[in-house]
Amino acid sequence: MTANIGELKLDTIHHMDINDGLKLIPDNSIDLIIADPPYGINYRSGSRKRKFTAIRNDNIIMADWLADAYRVLKDGGAFYCWTRWDVYAKWYNRIAHHQELHRLAKERGRNG
Ligand SMILES: C[S@@+](CC[C@H](N)C(=O)[O-])C[C@H]1O[C@@H](n2cnc3c(N)ncnc32)[C@H](O)[C@@H]1O
């Protein structure tokens, strides 16, 4: 029998919206997050004859899910996020922002 983490089965691919999926995972329960989100670059393969359809949500820096990512990440856990060089700074700022909000919320929780 496969164990669960929150409402999700372990060792299983769950094909779902990141915002819905993360909500099903308990706080402070994940050791490692590896993400390859839409980078916010409106990417569309142009190097081949066959044009692929546009990537969903790639027209904005879709970063709201980062709050839940930090909520589910264990203390001392690792978070790897792919992006592209020209939007790296935007992603870096958003990740640092959510990391700091999470740190402050935990500190407040500890200190009352
Ligand atoms: C940069 S691509 C990653 C591609 C992936 N690494 C691959 O090799 O197929 C970003 C992916 O995120 C998906 N995506 C966009 N919005 C999403 C959402 N809200 N929840 C989950 N996936 C989403 C897109 O459809 C796209 O497949």
Cα–ligand 1 centroid distance for 66 (angstroms): 15
The pLDDT value recorded for residue 51 is 76
Cα–ligand 1 centroid distance for 97 (angstroms): 22
Cα–ligand 1 centroid distance for 38 (angstroms): 6
The pLDDT value recorded for residue 53 is 84
What distance in Å separates the CA atoms of residue 106 and residue 56, rounded to the nearest whole number? 33
pLDDT tens string, the chain, 112 residues long: the values are 679 998 899 999 999 999 999 999 999 999 999 999 999 999 887 667 777 788 999 999 999 999 999 999 999 999 999 999 999 999 999 999 999 999 999 899 887 7
The DSSP secondary-structure symbol of 73 reads E
Residues with CB under 6 A from ligand 1: 17-19, 36-38, 55-57
